Structure 1
Amino acid sequence: MKRILQMSGVFLLIFFFAIWIWLSPMSGNFLNYLIWKATTSTQTVSGDIENHGAHIRYVAYGRGEPILLLHGGLSNKLSWFSQIPWLVKLGKQVVLIDTRGHGESTPGHSALSYQVFAEDTLLVLDRLGIQRTDIVGWSDGGIIALLLGLESPQRVGKIIAISANFHPSGVIQAADNTQVDAISPPQHKIIDWLRGWWSGAGENHPALEAEIKALWRVAPQLKHADLRAITAPTLVIAGENDIIDLPHSGELAQMLASAKIEIVLGAGHAAPVTHPRQINQLIASFLDLNQ
């Protein structure tokens, strides 16, 4: 019996080690974030603002010039775990927001829209006393960044839009393409739990997912004239295997008043998590950060 238990322990270690290697560099970066979070003595400011019945949670780490990180739909501010410690160590004030309905933010009574997301974001910046900031937005966060660049240009320095579309036609793959029906009930429950954890919505994830996917079908609706009116220097980043059509990303960069595009080879829609080294290098180069 003792030998069986020993062998079981060895197999478990091998299994978890294999998972660790398979998830690398994500696993190492997430561990680094957890260690940093537990040991950091950097200044932290957190709180929430209320808008349209929602409490929007925010946190700011560090001192220095601000940089705003906006996460994608059906994720939360923790999705920037590969960027947060790095940017704080570079002397930035890293501002993170949970989009309404995501993470620690409540949905409120207003229908989800990019305009409302942008309004929430400005109210957080007002609360923190930030008049102007560079913005790194991923997916939905990139759309919010572009909208802020259009409607509140005085508040925006540079924009980095990662895997962002300016029209629903730019999405070439359904976001819900997992064959859930083919998954056995225990696996289905695990996947449901993971989705709820990643969005931060928990048991409210199905309702959030339905509303967000309804939004994706009709928005954003930025026209070429809107894009040309965005004067903030912008870096458009797309993954080689992104669910955002590469010609669409190229069109976005071409139509913006001052923009360039970078393609991350081998990456999909989750490049900040799966290809953090390349993403961080692009961020540092575009924002002139001393590494």
Structure 2
Amino acid sequence: MLVQRMWLALSLVLLATVAGCGSSDDDGPPNADPGAATAKYASVNGMQMYYEERGQGAPLVVLNGGLCTIASCVGPLLPTWAKTRRVIAVEQQGHGHTNDIDRPLTYDHMAEDVVVLLERLGIAKADFFGYSDGGIVALRLGIRHPNLIRRMVTLSAYHDSRGLEPGLIEQMEQLTPEAVPPSMKEDYAKVAPDPSKWPVLVEKVKRLGIDFQGFPDAEVRTIPVPVLIVMGDHDIMTTQYGEELSRLLPNAQLVVLPGADHFSIATHAETILSKSTAFLDAP
């Protein structure tokens, strides 16, 4: 089944990521390394939202994928960007260090949480990189708060479930905490305020994917900022959908990574960094 293959791939990706990341950011204070993280919290809509800052320069906001911590899903990309940018990586509601609250997990809620965080930080405009669910949040921000965004990169993200591989939503109905790779649960348990909430997070992420009705094409067409769409040729979306989304957006480019699936951050990190950085650095 497609979902089973996805989780198996993710398990291997997480093991590779942990092996490449070295010691945890929680092991001690940041040092002179510009890629070292400073861990911080902000009071956002009734929760203590965790984020990490690295480097200096123009702000780049990095949004995590579903069930991810910063380290487990986007960690390999951040030190390189931090050499020239102020990188702000976020863990959304119930993810990683950020506590859960009594509300559903929705893209609208997560987008507005990011808006509040940036207000707290005094950031009026930034570049965005969103992976998977984080990419969908970035698209929502592009619709509702385009003035916050200079340029946007989405990796393995979609605006409507019609772009997903056939049968994926039906298979998501079968997702249980036991079906998620143990390494993912272990990463969560290391940093979560209450590790016993893992089944709650899995259920909320499951409902997020199943209940998402999509953003209307008419709204997506209003996103005025330059967008780089990155996806694998064996992603959870079809390449045909990627082409359609790139035509739907007024100012978009599409990069399809050959031999890549939904977890290309681990397998194609250098290519993602190269393509994303060139796009973000363009005048």
Q: Which category describes the TM-score, using the shorter chain as reference length?
A: 0.7 to 0.9
Q: Which residue of 2 aligns with 1:110?
A: 103
- The letter of the residue matching 1:30 is C
Q: Which residue of 1 aligns with 2:82?
A: 88
State the alpha-carbon separation in 1 of the partners of residues 257 and 23 from structure 2. Answer: 23
State the alpha-carbon separation in 1 of the partners of residues 264 and 65 from structure 2. Answer: 12
Q: 1:180 to 1:204 in 2, by over 3 A?
A: closer
Q: Is the 8 A contact 2:44 2:117 kept in 1?
A: no
State the alpha-carbon separation in 2 of the partners of residues 102 and 274 from structure 1. Answer: 23
Asked if residue 197 in structure 1 is aligned to residue 186 in structure 2, the reply is: yes
Q: Give 1 or 2 for the bigger CA radius of gyration.
A: 1
Query: Larger deviation: 23-32 or 162-171?
Result: 23-32
Q: Secondary structure at the match of 2:112?
A: helix
Asked if residue 72 in structure 1 is aligned to residue 65 in structure 2, the reply is: yes
Gaps in structure 2 of 5+ consecutive residues: 1-11
What's the offset of the Cα at 1:219? Answer: 1.2
Q: Secondary structure at the match of 1:210?
A: helix
What's the offset of the Cα at 1:32? Answer: 8.8
State the alpha-carbon separation in 1 of the partners of residues 199 and 262 from structure 2. Answer: 21
Q: Which residue of 1 aligns with 2:7?
A: none
Residues 58-99 of structure 1: CA deviation (Å, up to 9, x unaligned): 12111110101111111122222211111112x100001101
Q: 1:287 to 1:60 in 2, by over 3 A?
A: same
Q: Secondary structure at the match of 1:254?
A: helix
Asked if residue 125 in structure 1 is aligned to residue 118 in structure 2, the reply is: yes
Q: 1:271 to 1:32 in 2, by over 3 A?
A: farther
Q: Secondary structure at the match of 2:76?
A: coil
Q: Is the 8 A contact 1:69 1:94 kept in 2?
A: yes
Q: Secondary structure at the match of 2:22?
A: helix
Indicate the percent of aligned positions where both proteins have the same amino acid: 26
Q: Which residue of 2 aligns with 1:31?
A: 22
- How many matched pairs? 261
Residues 114-171 of structure 1: CA deviation (Å, up to 9, x unaligned): 1110111111111111110000001110011111111011110101011101112322
Q: Is the 8 A contact 1:58 1:124 kept in 2?
A: no
Q: Which residue of 2 aligns with 1:164?
A: 157
Q: Secondary structure at the match of 2:57?
A: coil
What's the offset of the Cα at 1:52? Answer: 3.7
What's the offset of the Cα at 1:178? Answer: 9.3
State the alpha-carbon separation in 1 of the partners of residues 106 and 53 from structure 2. Answer: 24
Q: Is the 8 A contact 1:33 1:81 kept in 2?
A: no
Asked if residue 286 in structure 1 is aligned to residue 275 in structure 2, the reply is: no
TM-score (norm: length of structure 2): 0.81
CA RMSD of aligned residues (A): 3.1
Q: Is the 8 A contact 1:160 1:237 kept in 2?
A: yes
Q: 1:26 to 1:192 in 2, by over 3 A?
A: closer
Gaps in structure 1 of 5+ consecutive residues: 1-20, 182-187
Q: Which residue of 1 aligns with 2:246?
A: 253
Q: Which residue of 1 aligns with 2:6?
A: none
